[in-house]
């Protein structure tokens, strides 16, 4: 389950961000599509409150990890969630 920790993109990530991601990954275990959106948005909001911002690449990496082992329809729902998260990030970076 923690094989995502070995992903090359995780090697240089800030330790504080890594802890937030670990929390989000544990909260998403067994969840699909629409249930992932509030978790991802909560992750971003919590990070922002702590003065931490995830880059678009980091958000993409998180979404890829969430798609691991999911069906094609679940992956499509996750992609929609990623688009919502990207829009959210753009609005809050201005």
Per-residue pLDDT reduced to its tens digit, 17-76: 888 888 877 777 777 666 777 777 787 788 888 888 888 778 777 777 777 777 888 888
CA distance 55 to 88: 12
Q: 18 and 10 in contact (C-beta within 8 Å)?
A: yes
- Classify residue 26 as exposed, middle or buried by CB count within 10 Å of its CB (0-12, 13-18, 19+): exposed
**For the chain, domain boundaries:** 2-92
Per-residue pLDDT reduced to its tens digit, 70-83: 788 888 887 887 77
Q: pTM for the complete prediction?
A: 0.65
Q: 68 and 31 in contact (C-beta within 8 Å)?
A: no
CA distance 10 to 24: 14
């Amino acid at each position: 389950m923690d094989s995502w920790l070995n992903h090359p993109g995780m090697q240089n990530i800030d330790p504080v961000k890594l802890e937030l991601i670990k929390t989000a990954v544990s909260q998403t275990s067994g969840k699909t599509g629409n249930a992932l959106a509030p978790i991802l948005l909560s992750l971003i909001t919590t990070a922002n409150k702590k003065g931490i911002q995830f880059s678009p690449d980091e958000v993409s990496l998180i979404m890829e990890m969430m798609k691991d082992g999911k069906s094609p329809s679940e992956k499509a729902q996750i992609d929609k969630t990623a688009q919502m998260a990207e829009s959210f990030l753009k609005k809050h970076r201005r």
